[in-house]
Amino acid sequence: MNKQLFFLRMLLSSLLRRRSRLLVALLAVGLGATLLSGLVTLYKDVPRQLGREFRSYGANLVITSDSTHPLTVALAEQAAALVPQDKLIGHSSCRYENIRINELPFMASGCELEQLRKTAPYWQVDGQWPQAGEVLLGQQVAASLGAFAGDVLELALTARGAQEPRTFKVAGLLKTGSAEEKFVYLPLSELLSLTSDERVDITEFSIQAGEQELGTLAQTMRESTGQHVRLVRRVTHSEVTVLSKLKALVYIVTVVVLVLTMVCVATTMVAVVAERRREIGLRKALGASDRGIFAEFMGESVLLGLGGGVLGAVLGYLFADAVSEQVFGRPVQVNVWLSLVTVLLSIVVTALSCVVPVKSASRVDPAQVLRGE
Amino acid sequence: MAVVLKLEHISKIYGDLKALDDINLEVQEGEWLSIMGPSGSGKSTMMNIIGCMDTPSMGKVLLEGQDLSALTGAELTSIRRDKIGLIFQQFHLVNYLTALENVMLAQYYHSLPDEQEALEALKQVGLEKRASHLPSQLSGGEQQRVCIARALINYPRVILADEPTGNLDENNEKLVIELFKRMHEEGRTVIVVTHDPEVAEHSQRTVIIDHGRLSKTVHNT
Ligand SMILES: Nc1ncnc2c1ncn2[C@@H]1O[C@H](COP(=O)(O)OP(=O)(O)O)[C@@H](O)[C@H]1O
Ligand SMILES: [Mg+2]
């Protein structure tokens, strides 16, 4: 049998026949590797996921109307056709009008409600979203009217004092905790039938694209429709801030986990070495050199790092996937490179944290530990 | 007959304590020597120095004419590996290696592991059926026999045994004495530290050590 083979047989025997020890050390390494690979997976995946969430949380491009550039439904559709289909999460046109309900003045918003629902998932509706002949009342409106879902209201445009009021049924009440609660919502087509024209005040687009791409799109829309097209920078900007803060957080946690893992592995190794002083002494008595002892223990730590790394790569993926499913409702993508890096890093970290305890192990004096009492 | 080992004015001093005090001793090739003496008299200290695990404070150790006191730690390690076979009171096996692997361990550090030869060595001590057992699955006597097989495997010039029967019952002690007899008959040089007069009386010569000094030499017939 050659020397390398026996070396390997020794290492494997040591790891497999001292299973409880192995388990503790493996757990230390594996846990660190799990946290690391899990965090990094999330770190890489979260911006992608969050980007989608942010985009679906509101408009990032708007077309507004004024007296010299009146916006119509047709123009809004023309603009929407300029956005690549796979990037357009939704768009919604709105028309605002002063109205009276039961002789009290309110502001009505006629919107494409189906689209609005997509771009405003945080709206809470008590009851139903309105269909034809129905309205959605902001919480504050409902309070001042004393109205509930299911009630029937008389609604007329303020601008046309003479117009005969029409009856609408209250489909539901809207809670957002902000200004939206002061509005009365009804389908755009209903409001336009009251005003008898095709004008809208604003069209909001929710588009999945970077700032630069959005700018180009806005320019194209401007040229094609002759309208005022703006980017809503506030959203894009805060998105970047949140993401960079998140990244910084993951960095810090990663470093902390790395340090903790090294401390954990090093202490485990110190304990392992202390426990095996006699064995080390015996090996030296049998003729092992300091270098040989060092190689044997480092060999064990490399195997340990390999095992812990593989364990960590698998568990880390499962961990990240579970978190992603919980938070975003989507699985993460498997990253082969990351798995490889996890295993390699785990080997390096384990080996590094073993250097000091193993160095001291190789200095054990055989005469001292083998002394017969 | 050639002198294998020679101690010249060996002293070992720990602080105020002279563990060994001006020891002079010659051991012939093929000789079976016993060292006896009360606890704490310096027997193990002397064995460690002969076994290249320790160095004397003063004096010279000559192993096959080579002066050990001039050597570095690494050089002592290589002499120990090549020329010395060690047997301890507390068996000292690697607990996660089988009997066979423990014997092969000595081959591994010496030259090349050879499973067949290691198995043969276990057979010599009557343990060929126990080759794949872990130390925890062996009795004390069996463990000590594995240690003996391991000490013999590389054909060392000198076999050192520090109270090899100290932890054994009478039956196992007899087995071990038999093995020592056989080593001696095969012409090996054997130095045994023992408390047990029965072990000592099988040897050719017994030296008595007291407070670090050789006090008496007995030649057995
Ligand atoms: N490393 C050491 N440091 C200090 N004193 C020691 C050391 N090793 C041995 N001694 C002392 O040297 C004396 C001889 O010890 P030892 O050789 O083990 O005796 P024996 O083996 O004959 O029982 C004892 O008094 C012991 O306490
Ligand atoms: Mg002793």
Please give the pLDDT value at position A35. 85
Three-state SS annotation for chain A: CCHHHHHHHHHHHHHHHCHHHHHHHHHHHHHHHHHHHHHHHHHHHHHHHHHHHHHHCCCCEEEECCCCCCEEHHHHHHHHCCCCCCCEEEEEEEEEEEEEECCEEEEEEEECHHHHHHHCCCCEEEECCCCCCEEEEEHHHHHHHCCCCCCEEEEEECCCCCCCCEEEEEEEEEECCCHHHHEEEEEHHHHHHHHCCCEECEEEEEECCCHHHHHHHHHHHHHHHCCEEEECHHHHHHHHHHHHHHHHHHHHHHHHHHHHHHHHHHHHHHHHHHHCHHHHHHHHHCCCCHHHHHHHHHHHHHHHHHHHHHHHHHHHHHHHHHHHHHHHCCCCCCCHHHHHHHHHHHHHHHHHHHHHHHHHHCCCCHHHHHCCC
H helix or E strand, kind and range, residue B213: strand B213-219
- Residue of chain A whose Cα is closest to the Cα of B84: A286
Which structure tokens are listed for A290? 């300091």
Which residues, listed in sequence order, are joined to residue A146 by a DSSP beta bridge?
A: none
Domain range summary for chain B, segments of one domain joined by +: 3-219
Q: How far apart (Å, rounded) are the C-alpha atoms in residues A321 and A330?
A: 8
Decide if pLDDT at A225 tops 90. no
Q: What are phi and psi of A338, to 5 degrees?
A: -60, -40
Which residue reads 């390997």 in tokens?
Answer: A8
Residues A205, A208, A210, A214: what is their CA dihedral angle, to the nearest 10 degrees?
-30
B32 and B204 Cβ atoms separated by less than 8 Å: yes
pLDDT tens figures, A180-214: 889 999 999 888 888 888 889 888 888 888 778 88
Q: What is the pLDDT of residue A233?
A: 62
Q: How many CA atoms lie within 13 A of A200 on its CB side?
A: 24
Task: Kindly list the strands in the beta sheet with B158-162, ordered across the sheet, starting from the edge strand earlier in the chain.
Answer: B84-87, B158-162, B189-193, B32-36, B205-210, B213-219
In three-state secondary structure terms, B61 is strand
Q: Is the pLDDT of residue B128 over 50?
A: yes
Q: How far is Cα A263 from Cα B67, in angstroms, rounded to an integer?
A: 46
- Provide the CATH topology of domain B3-219: Rossmann fold (3.40.50)
Asked if the interface predicted TM-score (ipTM) of this complex is over 0.85, the answer is yes
Any ligand 1 atom below 6 A from CB of B38: no
Q: Is the pTM of this model over 0.90?
A: no
Interface test with A, best of B14, B76, B94, B195 (most A CBs within 10 A): B94
pLDDT, one tens digit per residue, over A324-334 is 888 777 788 78
Least confident of A70-74, A331-335, B38-42: A331-335
- Work out the average pLDDT over A143-157: 89
A interface mutation test: which of B109, B143, B148, B168 has the most A CBs within 10 A?
A: B109
CB distance B155 to ligand 1 below 6 Å: no
Q: Looking at ligand 1, which residue's alpha carbon is closest to its atom 16?
A: B42
CA B40 / ligand 2 centre spacing (Å): 7
- Residues A285-300 as b/e (b if ≥16 CB within 10 A, e otherwise) read bbbbbbebbbebbbbb
Tell me how long chain A is. 373
d(CA A206, CA A171): 26
Residue minimizing CA distance to atom 24 of ligand 1 = B40
* Helix axes of A290-328 and A233-275: crossing angle, nearest 10 degrees: 150
Our CA-based measurement puts residue A283 at a distance from the nearest CA of chain B, in whole angstroms, of 8
User: Which ligand 1 atom is nearest residue B39's CA?
Assistant: 23
Mean residue pLDDT across chain A: 84
Dist. CA A33 → ligand 1 center (Å): 48
Using an 8 Å CB-CB cutoff, list residues of chain B that contact chain A.
44, 48, 51, 53-54, 74, 77-78, 80-82, 86, 88-90, 92-97, 101, 104-106, 108-110, 112-115, 134, 150, 162-163, 166
> From the CA of A333, how far away is ligand 2's center (Å)?
65
Q: Is B36 in the pocket of ligand 1 (CB under 6 A)?
A: no
Run of H or E including B72: none
pLDDT (tens digit, 9 = 90+) per residue, A22-60? 788 888 888 888 888 888 887 777 766 665 555 555 678
For residue range B139-159, what is the model confidence (pLDDT) as tens digits?
999 999 999 999 999 999 999
Q: Of A35-49, A160-174, A327-341, B129-143, give the range with the top mean pLDDT.
A: B129-143
Tokens of B167: 């932890």
Sequence-ordered alpha helix ranges (H) in chain B: 43-50, 73-83, 99-110, 115-124, 140-152, 170-185, 197-200
- How far apart are the CA of B38 and the centre of ligand 2, in A? 9
| B53:A370 CB<8 A | yes
The structure tokens 């945080």 sit at: A122
Q: How many CB pairs lie under 8 A apart between chains A and B?
A: 81
Spatial neighbors of B219 by CB under 8 A, at least 6 apart, are B204, B205
The model's confidence at residue A373, banded by pLDDT at 50, 70 and 90, is very low
